[in-house]
Amino acid sequence: MDKNYAEENLTIKINISDKIAILTLSRPEALNALNSLVFYEIDRFLDSLEQLNEIRVLIITGEGKSFVAGADISEMSSMNQEEGLAFSLKGQKVFQHLESLKIPVIAAVNGFALGGGCELTMSCDFRIASTKAKFGQPEVNLGLIPGYAGTQRLSRLIGLGNALHLLMTADVISAEEAFRIGLVQKVVEPEELMNVVMELAQKIAMKGKKAIENVKYVTRHGYNIPFDDACKLEASYFGNSFGNGESGEGMKAFLEKRKPNW
């Protein structure tokens, strides 16, 4: 990303190197709370990212002691019903944009991931958490419910009972508990978080680009359709893999006992 683009952003920071992009939420004075400007700048960056064919993995993290502490209550407090609906739809649109990226998206959760912050992590493909990370959907404490598809993604990730328990109690859980119920995939010490996530991103970036894109699409899309239809979708993409050149190099490299030259 060119320097000028990065300087235009007020609420996010972008770093790109070695085929990996890092988006850092950067409102530390507000614990990186989500407001309309944050949504706008994330969405604009995602638009530009889709044009950068060399990027293989996106990492999302937060600046300071928080990942994202939630939606910006100071912006929401004066909203009426129509404005609240629009704010919900805006967040859902951005998170769906993130979820639908062809490339893998990893959340590096360094601190509080509450409300909209937890919803943001769930729109990523998987989550690596610091031992200092905290997760929760505390909206009912404000007389609200999650607005960025949290009720839907949470139940799909951790099961209906676990989701309803968190949604109704507004409990804030530790990274270890989030790991136990399947909300995160790994918990590491704070000083190791970005190193571990970068190593993971680099590992994925070394795989066949098209194969990774296809795995993401078939797995995500297949999850929401009948099993038999999902199996047909998988078979179709498996068959198509043989004609794209990538699989030919991969299998040839395996037989020749060398690393593939993608």
Which of 8, 41, 75, 139 does the annotation list as catalytic? 139
190-223 tens-digit pLDDT: 999 999 999 999 999 999 999 999 999 999 999 9
Q: How confident is the model at residue 219, as a pLDDT?
A: 97
Q: Which two tokens stand for residue 52?
A: 């950068």
| pTM for this entry | 0.94
- Active-site position among 54, 119, 246, 249: 119
pLDDT on residue 7: 52
Q: What is the pLDDT of residues 212-258, one digit of tens each?
A: 999 999 999 999 999 999 999 999 999 999 977 788 889 989 999 99
- Over its length of 262 residues, how does the chain's per-residue pLDDT go in tens digits? 343 344 589 999 999 999 999 999 999 999 999 999 999 999 999 999 988 989 999 999 999 999 999 999 999 999 999 999 999 999 999 999 999 999 999 999 999 999 999 999 999 999 999 999 999 999 999 999 999 999 999 999 999 999 999 999 999 999 999 999 999 999 999 999 999 999 999 999 999 999 999 999 999 999 999 999 999 999 999 999 997 778 888 998 999 999 998 7
- Please state, in angstroms and rounded to a whole number, the distance separating the CA atoms of residues 17 and 197: 14
What pLDDT, on a 0 to 100 scale, did the predictor assign at position 248?
87
Is 139 noted as a catalytic residue in this protein? yes
* pLDDT value of position 48: 95
3-state class percentages of the chain: helix first, strand second, coil last, to nearest 5: 55, 15, 30
> Which one, of 137, 119, 88, 120, lies nearest residue 12 by Cα?
120
pLDDT of residue 5: 42
99 tagged catalytic: no
**Measuring CA to CA, which residue among 114, 194, 185 is closest to residue 148?**
114
